[in-house]
Amino acid sequence: MIHNSTDVIIKTVARIFIPFIQLYALYVIMHGHYSPGGGFQGGVILGASLILLLITHGERVAMQRISENWITILFSLGVLIYAGIGTLCLFFGGNFLDYGVLAPLLHVSPAAARSLGILGVEIGVGIAVMSVMVSIFYNIARSGPYRNKGTTARRES
Amino acid sequence: MIDFLYGIGFGLCFLVLVVLYRGIFGPGVYNRIAAVSAVGTKTLIILLIMGFIYNRVDMFIDISMVYALLNFVGTLAAAKYLEMEK
Amino acid sequence: MILPFDIIILLFVVICAVAALTVKDLLSAVVILGAYSFFMCLMWTQMGAVDVAFTEASVSASVGTILLITAVFKTTRNSKD
């Protein structure tokens, strides 16, 4: 499935589409509090754009853009941002994910601190979901088809 | 105005039924891929008509844009599979 | 809750689900499940749940269909029954 396509139409259309899909995914993450969307939906759309790059341009070009080491670092970073903001609220004396107590740290009112805290959490969720989608697809689609009957027979004998 | 939009919505649902006949009974897989891609474009418009009926269009434009952008990725993946199988 | 659209889209959903179980070719079944996800998104929208419809659209239209096609690619394409 991850194979370099020899058709010029598919490569050109994918090359035009991918930046716009990523821009739209960032819009969905940032406007989660006002219109439908949020962290998870924006992360899935970002992952879909990278999977489109993998399908049309092949493994070598896509791995030059974003290697497998970076995917592993990114999904740990996403979870670290989410849990880190929650634990930072614990250090300042509030409950877990109680963003109001972060107000003296950011020099804003408590209502604005809650808004910024939710935005930070959504960004962490988006990054984590994007890397997990790309990692799952990359692990499933590698190294060609294998026949299930052959391996089962070898294990039983 | 609302009755006119309801009429257009029913007309589009009838078109989806006609296309779905090809999607279910079409001999082979190529007919079904083309039929599902056509259903995706009708779904876009029916979403916007529902937005007008609920009187809040600006929320439903975002969902329509998702379908407009990601409709062809599924078709592309199916075509890629059929190319690799030969 | 828009009642006429509710009944029509429910009919489409049932037709698509029965067809996806009946066909012998697994790739055609995956493509019909893609159409099933379009109709489920319409169903969520006419019930008023807009965030659920957005999640269904973004997951099932792109990533869900691609993962199912990759699963068919790794195993067989003809089902046994």
Determine the Cα–Cα distance for residues A62 and A14; give it in Å rounded to an integer. 13
Inside any domain, residue C14:
no
Determine the Cα–Cα distance for residues B42 and A124; give it in Å rounded to an integer. 35
* Span A38-87, pLDDT tens digits: 999 999 999 999 999 999 998 888 888 888 899 999 999 999 999 999 99
* Span A91-140, pLDDT tens digits: 988 889 888 888 888 888 989 999 999 999 999 999 999 999 999 998 88
Q: How many structural domains is chain B composed of? A: 1
Determine the Cα–Cα distance for residues C24 and B28; give it in Å rounded to an integer. 11
Inside any domain, residue C7:
no
C28: containing domain:
24-74
Q: How many structural domains is chain C composed of? A: 1
Determine the Cα–Cα distance for residues B30 and B25; give it in Å rounded to an integer. 12
Over 80: is that where the pLDDT of A143 sits?
Answer: no
Inside any domain, residue C11:
no
Helix axes A110-140, C65-74, angle to 10 degrees: 20
Structural domain boundaries in chain A: 8-143
Q: In chain B, what is the greatest distance between 2 CA atoms, to the nearest angstrom?
A: 53
* Span A15-29, pLDDT tens digits: 999 999 999 999 999
- For residue A149, with 0-12 CB atoms within 10 Å meaning exposed, 13-18 middle and 19 or more buried, which class applies? exposed
Q: In which residue ranges of chain B is pLDDT below 50?
A: none
Determine phi and psi for A109, rounding to 5 degrees: -75, 160
Q: Provide, as residue numbers in chain A, all residues whose Cβ is less than 8 Å from the Cβ of B76.
A: 10, 52, 55-56
Interface of A with C in 41-60 (CB under 8 A): 41, 44-45, 47-48, 51, 55
What ipTM was reported for this prediction? 0.90
B37: containing domain:
2-85
Over 80: is that where the pLDDT of A150 sits?
Answer: no
> What's the pLDDT score for residue A146?
54
> What's the pLDDT score for residue C37?
95
> What's the pLDDT score for residue A155?
44
B36 to C41: CB separation less than 8 angstroms, yes or no = no
Question: Mean pLDDT throughout C15-26?
Answer: 93
Inside any domain, residue C65:
yes
> What's the pLDDT score for residue A144?
54
* Interchain contact A93–C (C-beta under 8 A): no
Inside any domain, residue C13:
no
Over 70: is that where the pLDDT of A152 sits?
Answer: no
> What's the pLDDT score for residue A156?
44
C51 to A38: CB separation less than 8 angstroms, yes or no = yes
The chain-wide mean pLDDT, for chain C, equals 92
